[in-house]
Amino acid sequence: MLSFSLLTPHSSLLTPHSHSVHSTASLRAQHGSLIMFALGLDSSTQSCSALIIDVANGTVVAEASVNFGAQLPQYNAPSGFIPDGENGEVHSDPLMWLDALELLLKDLADQCDLSKVSAISGAGQQHGSVYLNDQWFYEIDSLSAEDTLSEQLAKTLSRKTSPIWMDSSTGDECREIANAVGGDNVVCAKSGSIAIERFTGPQIRRFYKNDAAAYEQTARIHLVSSFLCSVLIGGDAPIDTGDGAGMNLVNIDAWDWDNELLEATAPDLLNKLPKVEQGNTTAGTLSGYFIKKYGFAADVPVTIFTGDNPSSLVGMGASQPGKLVVSLGTSDTFFAAMPNVVADPAGCGHVFGNPSAGSMSLQCFVNGSLAREAVKDKFNYDWDQFSQAFANTPLGNDGNLMVPFFRPETSPRVDLEAPILKGSSAFENWVDADTAIRACVEGQFLNMKLRTNWMQLQPEVIYLTGGASKNNAIAQVIADIFQAKVQRLAVSGSVGLGAAMRAASNSLGKNITDLENTFCQPETNSTIAPQADATVYANAAIAFDALI
Ligand code: XUL
């Protein structure tokens, strides 16, 4: 194995100005394919994580994560956002994201020689926005390794905090934007989603309405993803089509800003936004700040960042049409690469750009793990008893059906506070635990199938991720209802992995399918095939739809 003795030993790299810097091009020339590390960042709601892959050897060489609440308690955001916001407001401090980035890079530099990294990209929680004054353009271009990022960039914020995706304060603004352009169906046809409270356009409008002077002082509005990308390159980075589509401002046919939506949102908005670019765009090269402070090589290309969900699509190995991902979390999410750009006629789903070209669909189901847990808790069951209930009940549940919405659902939009049950009297009266558990899970995925029909997908394989994906009984219901094989992948951290794979594809000339074959393998013996005859759930779906 070639040694990297010509590189400055990485212990000394933490000292600014103390070493000569080699460019990635010269390192590659001297070491051929060995210099093939790609770094993927994931700035999410509760933490900032990263992983570094060795593209030549097909391995993950370093992983790190900084939990905002635990490691940066001075920001008083135990779960990554400022608690107790009023009127549905949920904000975070963007300086916290910068401090986390520094802690993360320090940890990575302790684990591995960052001068071997020759490609970088990343992802951010979607929809969140950062508001910057005109000092931003100067400061971002002249970062000094003597001070921290947050010290230098604090003065560039024209709004101290950033609204994030959990913010639901913009109901009025959604209606105003929709009315201005001719209704929600127009917003949906243009931007891929109806006007949605957490989306960035309605958030910007609310800021403009509540604080017109600070809006006026705002020279640039970035997404979390493009803000962090800008910091890395020491310049003003574009927004990608994947994250950009989560703003209600990008036209999904042109993949560029939609003038009518911009005008309906706030004055002079075009001048305050960066460019929109496809995911395979190189934003620039890594800023000298990171070279001096963390020991990266010079000239490392940074691929524009995307949203966490589009990045996860890549990291799950599903960036080409034909595979879809179901993520089982607090809420359940369904997403897939799409062969054609179509918007959900019911206005519940979203179309985002696919960072690997084309588009992707995404649909969120609010009643995910919380609903499964609510049924389990109703009978004082543990998770083993919950799983056993499926063995005790037949596929199709003898026609007992549940609309398992314990809280208002967004797919479809219904304001239920408790589930609807239809079937035997024992079931309807909540005395048949096993039937209720099967009905909850069958109801969730019958609903998911019905609500995602607009995507016109015929999946061969469904990739399952998220906490509840480990449960075989739930995975079996999904296989039966979708009539598709279900697989779990060995990858964890699909958002960061997707970012590293995008960097490797864009900057190191690696084929994305080859990267998927290397990094996105299924867990051994994890494939679950459908057991049910297709007719069982076809009839149940009709009955379920009638019940809603
Ligand atoms: C997607 C959404 C969330 C955020 C945070 O529309 O709001 O998934 O991206 O993860």
- Calculate mean pLDDT across residues 294-318: 96
pLDDT class for 2, splitting at 50, 70, 90? very low
User: Which residues are CB-contacts of 381 (< 8 A; sequence separation ≥ 6)?
Assistant: 389, 433, 437
Closest ligand 1 atom to Cα of 309: 9
Measure 396 CA to ligand 1 centroid, in angstroms: 32
Q: What are phi and psi of 51, to 5 degrees?
A: -140, 155
Q: How far is CA 440 from the centre of its chain?
A: 26
Give me the pLDDT at residue 126, please.
95
Give me the pLDDT at residue 460, please.
82
With the most atoms of ligand 1 within 8 angstroms of its CB, the residue from 196, 361, 364, 410 to mutate is 364
For residue 323, the cross-strand partners are 461
Kindly report, residue by residue over 62-114, the tens digit of the pLDDT.
999 999 999 999 999 999 999 999 999 999 999 999 999 999 999 999 999 99
State how far the Cα of 124 lies from the Cα of 97, in Å rounded to an integer. Answer: 10
State how far the Cα of 541 lies from the Cα of 482, in Å rounded to an integer. Answer: 11
173-200 burial code (b ≥16 CB/10 A, e <16) = bbebbbebbeebebbbbbbbbbbbbbbb
CA distances from 339 to 225, 336, 342, 464 (A): 25, 10, 9, 21
pLDDT higher than threshold 60 for residue 165: yes
User: Which residues are CB-contacts of 106 (< 8 A; sequence separation ≥ 6)?
Assistant: 14, 294
Q: Whose CA is nearest to atom 5 of ligand 1?
A: 125
Give me the pLDDT at residue 342, please.
82
- Calculate mean pLDDT across residues 145-162: 98
Measure 369 CA to ligand 1 centroid, in angstroms: 16
User: Which residues are CB-contacts of 85 (< 8 A; sequence separation ≥ 6)?
Assistant: 91, 167, 169
Q: Whose CA is nearest to atom 3 of ligand 1?
A: 126
Tokens encoding 362? 């995404």
Give me the pLDDT at residue 26, please.
55
DSSP letter (8 states) at residue 115 = G
Closest ligand 1 atom to Cα of 165: 7
With the most atoms of ligand 1 within 8 angstroms of its CB, the residue from 125, 313, 494 to mutate is 125
Tokens encoding 309? 């969900």
- Residue count of the chain: 548
CA angle 434, 438, 440 (to 5 degrees): 115
Q: Whose CA is nearest to atom 7 of ligand 1?
A: 165
Give me the pLDDT at residue 422, please.
97
Measure 334 CA to ligand 1 centroid, in angstroms: 12
State how far the Cα of 187 lies from the Cα of 189, in Å rounded to an integer. Answer: 6
- Calculate mean pLDDT across residues 45-52: 95
- Calculate mean pLDDT across residues 165-194: 96
Q: Rounded to two decimals, what is the model's pTM?
A: 0.89
Q: Is the pLDDT higher at 385 or at 321?
A: 385
Measure 353 CA to ligand 1 centroid, in angstroms: 14
Burial class (CB in 10 A: 0-12, 13-18, 19+), 69: middle
With the most atoms of ligand 1 within 8 angstroms of its CB, the residue from 44, 45, 126 to mutate is 126
Give me the pLDDT at residue 331, please.
84
Measure 309 CA to ligand 1 centroid, in angstroms: 7
- Calculate mean pLDDT across residues 217-232: 98
CA angle 12, 18, 23 (to 5 degrees): 90
pLDDT higher than threshold 90 for residue 437: yes
In 3-state terms, what secondary structure has residue 356?
A: coil
Which domains, from first to last, does the chain contain?
Answer: 5-310 (3.30.420.40), 317-488+511-548 (3.30.420.40)
Of 4-8, 332-336, 442-446, the range with the lowest mean pLDDT is 4-8
pLDDT class for 24, splitting at 50, 70, 90? low
Burial class (CB in 10 A: 0-12, 13-18, 19+), 531: exposed
Q: Is the pLDDT higher at 3 or at 167?
A: 167
Q: Whose CA is nearest to atom 1 of ligand 1?
A: 126
User: Which residues are CB-contacts of 378 (< 8 A; sequence separation ≥ 6)?
Assistant: 430, 433, 436
State how far the Cα of 167 lies from the Cα of 72, in Å rounded to an integer. Answer: 22
Pocket of ligand 1 (CB under 6 A): 45, 125-127, 165, 198, 246, 307-309, 364
Q: What are phi and psi of 469, to 5 degrees?
A: -65, -20
In 3-state terms, what secondary structure has residue 331?
A: coil
DSSP H helices, 9-81, are 24-31, 68-71
Nearest to 397 by CA among 424, 374, 379: 424
- Average per-residue pLDDT for the chain: 92
Give me the pLDDT at residue 10, please.
30
State how far the Cα of 457 lies from the Cα of 130, in Å rounded to an integer. Answer: 35
Q: Which residue has the tokens 């960039």?
A: 153
Q: Is the pLDDT higher at 169 or at 1?
A: 169
β 323-328/332-338 pair status:
antiparallel
With the most atoms of ligand 1 within 8 angstroms of its CB, the residue from 46, 79, 165 to mutate is 165
Q: Whose CA is nearest to atom 10 of ligand 1?
A: 125
Q: Is the pLDDT higher at 289 or at 25?
A: 289
